[in-house]
Structure 1
Amino acid sequence: MLWLSLIIFLLVSALCLEVAIGARRIAQLKKVCAQSASGRIKVSVIIPACNEAGTLESALDSVLKVSYPDLEVIVVNDRSTDGTASILEHMTNRHPALRVVQIAALPPGWLGKNHALHQGVQLASGDYILFTDADVTFAPGSIGMAVAYCEAHQVDHLTLLFDILARTPLLAMLVLSFSVNFMARFKPWKVAKSKRYYLGAGGFNLVRRSAYFEAGTHAAIPMAVLDDLMLGRLIKQHGFTQHVLYGRDLVRVEWYRSTPEMMQGLMKNAFAAFDFSLIQLAAVTMLMLVLRVWPWIALFATHGAAWWLNLFTVFAGLALYIDFIRADGQSYRCLLFAPIVALLELAIWWRASISTLVRGGIVWRGTYYPLGELRRMRL
């Protein structure tokens, strides 16, 4: 037990140290590029909307208030059955330049969001295309700074890691844990210089038009559940330059309003994150149980030197969480749920995965997508 505790302590400490140092190597857009682009470069913003009545108006209003001279905003209403169409009609009356694409049916071989983005691109005429979501809000100077950065550094694809609002401590802890896992897996600080690493975030994927079309557009990833990540991989595979920055105070999203909503929302994505493979899911589960769950249990099941090693392991994880909280300005109250957050994550992953296997696919926004077709697009 002593040697096991020592090995776990060393592994967790090394991982936490790597993520903490790596996260500090990611620059903030507002600090590295305070100036906005001149506006001579046109930007097309494409927003897919499927039953987004709860968030669309405020998000779209923030985009329309962005202080960028040559901005084209395109919203794709993807078969919405709520009040999305009425909101778009209202917004179009206020902003005649707003362009709206209406989709009545989904053709075979396409995921709804991917098809909506593809249809939006057909109208886009910008030198850059910004893919974002219907719940993301922007600061006035955000897009101008992003374009200026891409032009100054010859970047073909810029992804921003945005601020995430969480209303409750438990939800905040889940988001915090997700952020740490995300950093540990994709290592965004390595994306700019390494051919191996890539990234894309649905809230902010700014792509140079020429690079996007040369890479094959969304037509190359029509059934990719993790469309944002797969777009990042597609761009990187074709040899284009890709950078990742923090978009703190510039781009914001309330990812989910509650923990149950998050659990339901991840029903679409969770199994895809493991390439729809139970073997991968089982392997990561064992790793989570050993590295993140056992040290907490060991505080009640070990003694002596082993107990101290497990205590130090727990402190290493908490120190990383605190480091992220300090950077993001979140409340420390969420740490009350640190002992159980890994178990909650495992429950979310397994619930989504088993549901996908039982159904033989996923049901998302009223559309069924067979597992066989989804497996063609893997990480």
Structure 2
Amino acid sequence: MNGPTFLAALTLLIWLGLAWDVGRGNRRLRRLAKLPLPEQAGWPRVSLVIAARNEGKTLGAAVPTMLALDYPDLELIAVNDRSEDDTGAVLEKLAAADPRLRVVTVTALPEGWIGKNHALHTGAIEAAGEWILFTDADIHFQPDTLRRAVAYARMQTLDHLAAVPRLVEQGHALGICVNAFSFAFTVGLRPAHISDPRSRAHGGVGAFNLVRSSTYRKLGGHEPVRMRPDDDIKLGKLMKAGGFSELVLGEGALAVAWYDSVGAMIRGLTKNAYAGADYRLWVPLAAMLAFGVGWVWPAVALFLYEGPAMWLNAGTLALILALGCDQTRFTGGRWWHGLFLPLGMAVFAWILLRSQAVTLWTGGITWRGTHYPLRDLKANRL
């Protein structure tokens, strides 16, 4: 076996292993909308906490779906985090119409905190629920979502249940990127293994992080993740260390219009992609090398070699496209978006490199008008 054939065979074997892990893992994930809803002798109080900074345009549509949840013992705590638009006015109007909604206003950000993390921590301090659901200000819920989630968490004796929302894409280009993001999320976090206490896999989702209040408070609340742009994922890591954690698919139960364009997505993810690498210099470079060898080279080599090497590379490319199409079954996107999986992954490779470059060049990240120094971000490794 010559060198090109050996490399082609090795690449195909790696992709076969990845396909097995991703395909099997996706099929093991439960769907929140289909979780059983048994009768309960009594429902524990749940506090739903959202952080909102300059979210006046989204709150008016999203918060009513939260208040329409058919959960019998619910309070909603909305933290207005130093907003400069009409966020406060929108929240006060909604609170006047429903006493279950309380508005907490943050006027100053303490040193050593990211704004959103501090706002969620502040809301949790006010929460009286046995369970706390952390969610975003633009998430839309189906009425039975919370009852299904709480019933399942209690049945499985979980301390943390996360759910991935349906990412409603705006146009085909964004749909291709959403599918690629979902694939990268599955490969990187291995969500099907989160419920296995023997596995190091962990994760969380800002759109839906349901935590047992006693465990969350025992672990220090959001204080251990106070300077993490990826606080949702790291909160999941924290909760798994303190108890039992699981992640489910939220399609049919909750949804969000993620970004309105590919450009907006690139800008939005630039702030936290490098945090996912724990600010290690070598990780983006290693990711680019893996992308080149695993994704680009099989396509190039297909036209450079004949015989077994050509067929092995063709098999790798076919497998990649099949994986992309299969992933759409779990994102709700169009199947043919999966045919452009390599293109979508190229965008995310660029985002990771861009995030590293911008973070190093500016000495930190800027999020919603506040700059956070890199030295403080790196000090909060978890």
| TM-score range relative to shorter protein | over 0.9
Percent of residue pairs identical: 40
Map 1:1-379; keep pairs closer than 5 Å.
Answer: 1-35=4-38, 37=40, 40-195=43-198, 196-238=200-242, 240-335=243-338, 337-378=340-381
Aligned 8 A contact 2:181 2:345 in 1: no
Aligned 8 A contact 1:33 1:145 in 2: yes
Query: Residues of 1 paired with 2:152 and 2:204: CA distance?
Result: 17
Aligned 8 A contact 2:167 2:258 in 1: yes
Letter in 2 for 1:236: K
Letter in 1 for 2:46: V
Residue 301 of structure 1, CA deviation: 3.2
Q: Deviating runs (4+, > 4 A) in structure 1?
A: 36-39
Residue 286 of structure 1, CA deviation: 0.7
Residue 333 of structure 1, CA deviation: 4.0
Letter in 2 for 1:217: G
3-state SS in 2 of match to 1:267: helix
Q: 1:224 to 1:302 in 2, by over 3 A?
A: same
Letter in 1 for 2:127: A
Query: Residues of 2 paired with 1:339 and 1:156: CA distance?
Result: 37
Letter in 2 for 1:172: G
Q: 1:311 to 1:361 in 2, by over 3 A?
A: same
Residue 129 of structure 1, CA deviation: 0.2
3-state SS in 2 of match to 1:192: coil
Listed as ranges, the gaps of 5+ residues in structure 1 are none
Residue 232 of structure 1, CA deviation: 0.8
Deviations 1:123-166 (A, max 9, x none): 10001000000111110000011111111111111111221111
Q: 1:108 to 1:36 in 2, by over 3 A?
A: farther
Q: 1:139 to 1:4 in 2, by over 3 A?
A: same
Query: Residues of 2 paired with 1:37 and 1:361: CA distance?
Result: 48
Letter in 2 for 1:338: L
Task: Provide the TM-score with structure 2 as the length reference.
Answer: 0.95
Residue 47 of structure 1, CA deviation: 0.4
Letter in 1 for 2:346: L
Aligned 8 A contact 1:75 1:100 in 2: yes
Deviations 1:312-349 (A, max 9, x none): 11111111111121343311342453342232222111
Query: Residues of 1 paired with 2:141 and 2:40: CA distance?
Result: 16
- Out of 208-217 and 32-41, give the one that drifted further: 32-41
| Aligned length, in residue pairs | 378
Query: Residues of 1 paired with 2:326 and 2:37: CA distance?
Result: 25
Residue 39 of structure 1, CA deviation: 5.3
Aligned 8 A contact 2:325 2:336 in 1: no
Query: Residues of 2 paired with 1:298 and 1:101: CA distance?
Result: 59
Listed as ranges, the gaps of 5+ residues in structure 2 are none
